[in-house]
Amino acid sequence: MNYELLQIVALLTVIAFGGALRKATGACGSDDLEGLMGFKNGIQMDTSGRLAKWVGRSCCEWEGVVCDNATTRVTQINLPGLIEKDLFQTQMVGQLSPSITLLTSLEILDLGGLVGLTGTIPQTIGLQMPNLQKLYLYGNNLTGPVPESIGDLPRLQELALHENKISGSIPSTIGSLKKLKSLLLYSNQISGTIPFSLGNLTNLVELDVHDNAIMGQVPNSIGQMQALEKLDLSSNMLSGSIPSSLTNLTAISVLYMDTNYLEGTIPFPSRSGEMPSLGFLRLHNNHLSGNIPPSFGYLVSLKRVSLSNNKIEGALPSSLGNLHSLTELYLSDNSFSGQIPKSIGQLSQLIMLNISSNLIEWPLPQEISSLQNLQTLDLSFNPLNLSSIPPWLTSISSLSRISLAGCGIKGQIPDSLQTTQSPIQELDLSGNLLSGSIPSWIGSLSQLYLLNLSSNSLDSHIPESLTNLPDLGVLDLHSNKLTGSIAGVFDTEQGTLTYIDLSDNNFSSGVEAIGVGEQLNIQYLNLSHNLLKGTLPSSLGKLNSIHSLDLSFNELASNLPEMLAKLTLLERLKLQGNHFSGKIPSGFLKLKKLKELDLSDNVLEGEIPEGKPLTDFPGSTYSGNKGLCGKPLNPCKE
């Protein structure tokens, strides 16, 4: 053996033995060790106790660290906040150390959901960590920008930076991440425009099968292999228009850009066959304008679409009828005009249709009645001039939520509802021109949870059948001309109501029943602007879930009951414009959550009990009484 060969053998032995030694001891390379220790030193507190056990050199055996067995290099750091195996949420408080970039073989970095982790994404991440495939830094407390160098991570497949305080704009270099499948940047403070280069994240891998000898089919998976499937930029501060290049995202399935400041028109698709897998599209809460392009009907995989709260106008294209997979369509709060196209009847999978607050006109196409899976229909606040509820509507056997507020419905509450087979849970006919009585058959809608008949001209009593409905939770009858007693609402065996608004009617009696029955889960009670007389019963003190109580502008006369002090969840208490007399009970000082109080225009007297929250309210809270004094009014005379 000659000398040189000996040297080589020796060298190989050292390499092999070094690797074997590190394998045996679980040690990792020294750069990796330094990177891990740097990361650990940035963390002041770790409730999981995982980092406390990171001692010595055997880093390949540390919890949350994975090494490659052959090279002993660290390839994964898995320290998510939620420990899956026992669903345990942990905390790490500290700074994300830039020394993490010393781990140059890292493929997966998962620090998701550690809400106490601050700092920035290391600027040089793209230059130093070329093997990264998955970067999960979501749900932290990171600030600063997405580094430009992120575009230099050729193997990156998943980038999840959502739910941080990341600012700056999206670097256009992101368009070079040829393997990116999922880009989640939602719920940050990212501004600027959406880079045109995002349209490069496609599977247009120059796939030329022409003049080749490939036998059989090109595997389908090739098309899916290297292309963006999920893009979520929602809840940021992005402006400008949606880049037309997105139309090239051949594999996109989830596209969320809602709740930003985007403007301009919806640019896709430009022709049939584009975005063939797009299933979930959210563009709501932006400033988008223009029409829904007729080509929209080419997006045949769409399941859920939300365009609400934009400035989109024009007629709904009849091509919408081609979206056979559509289950949910949200179009509310735009300026859509004209009629609903008849083709809507082809959307046989549709469960939810919300077109409220637009400029849609009469007539409604009867084809809607073929939507036999429809559960929610909201056509409220359109100039529909419906006059009556179309009888075919109640033949939709799955319909459980009907909102036809502000649709110009006239006359009596239509009888067609009486015989419906639909399992109606929510019925909103508010803001119409309904007159006459609340029919007692309403009590046969046995699944009713919400009834909103507010702002009509109904002038009957409240039928007893209504207040005995087993699931009734929300009852809004405000601003009608209803008369008689409110006692039936309270004096029942049911305990389901949480929201009761009977304000602005002509009710004259029944306050003595409040708290007498089982109706004790009430959180909101508004009886203001009626003709209610009498004294408040002490059973009122049993409504211990109540947040908001408004009895203002009635003819109630009594002392302010001491037991009101038991309603410690109260945030709003309005008793103004009655004939309450006597002193303000000192127990009111226990109402620590009170944010709004109005006792004005009664006949109260004596000293305002001193202390929070009572003395923090303005003078107007107490004005117009017989003789109240003390802070915030003038001092009492001795």
Please report, as ranges, the residues that interact with ligand NAG according to CB under 6 A.
Answer: 69, 115-116, 118, 141, 175, 196-197, 199-200, 204, 244-245, 247-248, 308, 332-333, 354, 356, 376, 378, 383, 385, 401, 403, 405, 408, 428, 430-431, 452, 454-455, 459, 474, 476, 478-479, 481, 483, 499, 503-504, 506, 526, 528-529, 531, 548, 550, 572, 574
**Beta carbon nearer to ligand NAG, 203 or 343:** 203
**Beta carbon nearer to ligand NAG, 427 or 631:** 427
Give the number of other CB atoms < 10 A from CB of residue 213: 5
Which structure tokens are listed for 328? 């949910």
Pairing of the two strands 254-256 and 627-629: unpaired
Give the separation between CA 380 and CA 407, rounded to whole angstroms.
6
- Answer whether 489's CB lies under 8 Å from 512's CB: no
**Beta carbon nearer to ligand NAG, 26 or 630:** 26
Which structure tokens are listed for 25? 């001891």
- Please name every residue paired with 78 in a beta bridge, in sequence order, or none if there are none: 110
Least spacing, CB of residue 188 vs ligand NAG, in Å: 13
Least spacing, CB of residue 197 vs ligand NAG, in Å: 4
Instruction: Tabulate helix, strand, coil % of the chain (nearest 5).
Output: 25, 20, 55
**Beta carbon nearer to ligand NAG, 186 or 553:** 553
DSSP sequence for 260-293:
S--EE-----SSTTSSTT--EEE--SSEE-SPPP
Give the separation between CA 511 and CA 492, rounded to whole angstroms.
14
- Please name every residue paired with 360 in a beta bridge, in sequence order, or none if there are none: 338
Give the separation between CA 240 and CA 264, rounded to whole angstroms.
7
Give the closest residue to 158 by CA, choosing from 132, 140, 176.
132
- Answer whether 126's CB lies under 8 Å from 152's CB: yes
**Beta carbon nearer to ligand NAG, 40 or 401:** 401
- Answer whether 482's CB lies under 8 Å from 459's CB: yes
Least spacing, CB of residue 479 vs ligand NAG, in Å: 6
Give the separation between CA 570 and CA 558, rounded to whole angstroms.
20
**Beta carbon nearer to ligand NAG, 175 or 297:** 175
Report the C-alpha dihedral over residues 473, 476, 482, 486, rounded to 10 degrees. 40
- Answer whether 196's CB lies under 8 Å from 172's CB: yes
**Beta carbon nearer to ligand NAG, 143 or 291:** 143
The phi, psi pair for 621, rounded to 5°, reads -60, -30
**Beta carbon nearer to ligand NAG, 185 or 497:** 497
Least spacing, CB of residue 345 vs ligand NAG, in Å: 20
Least spacing, CB of residue 408 vs ligand NAG, in Å: 6
Least spacing, CB of residue 124 vs ligand NAG, in Å: 22
Least spacing, CB of residue 344 vs ligand NAG, in Å: 17
**Beta carbon nearer to ligand NAG, 350 or 631:** 350
Least spacing, CB of residue 468 vs ligand NAG, in Å: 20
**Beta carbon nearer to ligand NAG, 69 or 189:** 69
**Beta carbon nearer to ligand NAG, 398 or 506:** 506
Least spacing, CB of residue 454 vs ligand NAG, in Å: 5
**Beta carbon nearer to ligand NAG, 152 or 631:** 152
Which secondary structure element, helix H or strand E, spans residue 336, and what is its range? strand 335-338
- Answer whether 179's CB lies under 8 Å from 204's CB: no
- Answer whether 378's CB lies under 8 Å from 403's CB: yes
Cα–Cα distance list, 435 to 46, 215, 404, 409, 577 (Å): 65, 75, 16, 10, 29
Residues in the chain: 638
∠ CA 551-556-560, nearest 5°, is 80
Give the separation between CA 619 and CA 229, rounded to whole angstroms.
59
Least spacing, CB of residue 247 vs ligand NAG, in Å: 5
**Beta carbon nearer to ligand NAG, 401 or 631:** 401
Which structure tokens are listed for 84? 């899956």
Chain-centroid distance of CA 404 in Å reads 24
Least spacing, CB of residue 341 vs ligand NAG, in Å: 18
Least spacing, CB of residue 589 vs ligand NAG, in Å: 22
**Beta carbon nearer to ligand NAG, 165 or 626:** 165
Least spacing, CB of residue 23 vs ligand NAG, in Å: 9
Hunting for tokens 């509310």 — which residue is that? Answer: 332
Give the separation between CA 372 and CA 351, rounded to whole angstroms.
9
Least spacing, CB of residue 602 vs ligand NAG, in Å: 17
Write the CB contacts of 369 (distance below 8 Å, at least 6 apart in sequence).
345, 392, 393, 395, 396
Which structure tokens are listed for 19? 């690797």
The phi, psi pair for 569, rounded to 5°, reads -90, -5
Least spacing, CB of residue 324 vs ligand NAG, in Å: 23
Hunting for tokens 């988008």 — which residue is that? Answer: 288
**Beta carbon nearer to ligand NAG, 320 or 355:** 355
Going by the DSSP 8-state scheme, the letter that residue 129 receives in this structure is: -
